[in-house]
Amino acid sequence: MEKFDELKNLWNRQSLGLIPTQADEFLVKIESHIKQMRTGQQKTLFTLIILLVILISYSLWVLHTGTSRYTLGLGLMIGAIMVRVTFEGLSIFKFNSVKPDLAMIEFREKITKFYFWKNRVNRIFIPILYGIYLLGFTFLVPVFKDTLSSGMFLYVILSGYGFLFLFTFVVRKKVRKEKMILEFLKRVSET
Amino acid sequence: MERKAEFTKIFDAYYPKVFRLCKGYFNGDEQLALDTSQEVFLKVWENINSFKQDSELGTWIYKIAVNTCLMQIRKDNSRKEKNFTPFFQLLSENYSYEEELKIKKMYDCIQKLDERGKVIILMVLDEVPYPQIAKIIGIKEDALRVNIHRIKKKLTLCVQNGEV
């Protein structure tokens, strides 16, 4: 393997190019990054809690005052959102629970399981949830028609269905990306 | 303070190795290698307390580095698949034109290897001991030696003839 040793020597004579920063400098960056990340997570959690409180309070109020169609429609929409948020939280938890310091083959197996699960959720459960959300929204359309001005009604209808249309694209893109990742991980295992 | 001192020691000793591994894995894309190396050391910082003293530090760092490189696929596949040729200005001044071409060919040939082969050969080139590579990949040392022999042959042939 004399030829290979020559290649190895050649390889190790390379300059590192973009030489990394000093550890102290890097630590400052890391600490600010972690701080930013935690603030972001706290903000998200705070927003979700506020949203949840508003939705639950509104549901309770509607339960006493609204029509059964209104209650059902809103209940379906809120339920779908809550399940969606739970899935998202579970997904983050599952991904973070795969330790980064596992041996490559074990890491690949665990991460493949995670993406397989996520892909199944996005392909099967999320469309069902969107269907439920859509059903809830559709239940509310007559209520909107009766209570809103024609301009506002048109806006609610267009933005409501438009939002779902946009999310269909987002989910499709996610499913495709997950499939691509699964194919890549499969290639890693085949070697 | 102790954590910071420990991290600084690890950073100084392993950052160039991790960076070189990432640079090779991403076909010489320095920016992607830099981003990935930083992500590796972010994970090192976050997990430094869970590092078990009975396992070897180098093995631990390389495991994180290899898995982080693999998972860059989540972020931007198109960049990873792209061909980068920024090597010429990065080589040592002692390189001849012929050697420059050879090293560029090495990058190209490494990209032609499968994912596992790629990380194995990059660690071999960086002179990581075989028992350590076996632990990082998660295979037996005997199987690894067979693999390395095959990959070395492939790489050498590819640099000579352009074929894998």
pLDDT in tens, chain B (164 residues): 688 888 888 998 999 899 999 999 999 888 899 889 989 999 998 888 878 766 789 999 999 999 999 998 877 554 544 444 444 445 555 667 777 888 888 999 999 999 999 999 999 999 999 999 999 999 999 999 999 999 999 999 998 886 65
**Nearest chain A Cα distance for residue B158, angstroms:** 11
Q: What letter does residue A121 receive in the DSSP assignment?
A: I
By Cβ distance, the residue of B38, B115, B125 closest to A188 is B115
CATH topology of domain B1-82: Rna Polymerase Sigma Factor; Chain: A (1.10.1740)
> Does residue A2 belong to any structural domain of this protein?
no
B95-164 matches B1-82 in CATH topology:
no
- Domain interval for residue A160: 26-190
Contacts of A23 in chain B (CB under 8 A): 7-8, 11-12, 15
> Does residue A162 belong to any structural domain of this protein?
yes
Query: Cα(B44)–Cα(B33) distance, rounded to whole angstroms?
Result: 16
**Nearest chain B Cα distance for residue A132, angstroms:** 30
A150 contact partners, CB below 8 Å, separation of at least 6: none
Nearest to A187 by CA among B129, B139, B134, B73: B73
- The least confident of A38-47, A120-129, B9-18, B27-36 is A38-47
Nearest to A108 by CA among A191, A185, A190, A187: A185
- Check residue B88 and give its pLDDT: 46
The CATH classification of domain B95-164, taken from the options 3.40.50.300, 3.30.70.20, 1.10.10.10, 1.10.3720.10:
1.10.10.10
Query: Cα(B56)–Cα(B54) distance, rounded to whole angstroms?
Result: 7
Structure ipTM over 0.90, yes or no: no
C-alpha B124: how far from chain center? 9
CA atoms within 13 A on the CB side of A138: 7
Chain B CA closest to residue A179: B74
Give the total number of structural domains in chain A: 1
CB contact under 8 A, B138 and A1: no
Count contacts between A and B (CB, < 8 Å).
138
Please answer whether residues B104 and B87 qualify as being in contact, where contact means their C-beta atoms are separated by less than 8 angstroms: yes
pLDDT in tens, A133-187: 999 999 889 988 888 899 999 999 999 888 888 888 888 988 999 999 999 888 8
CB contact under 8 A, B103 and A180: no
- Check residue B91 and give its pLDDT: 52
H or E element at residue B100: helix B97-112
3-state secondary structure of A144: helix
CB contact under 8 A, A29 and B41: no
Assigned token pair, A70: 């209104």
With cut-offs at 50, 70 and 90, classify the pLDDT of residue A29: confident
With cut-offs at 50, 70 and 90, classify the pLDDT of residue A117: very high
Nearest to A74 by CA among A18, A138, A153: A138
3-state secondary structure of A163: helix
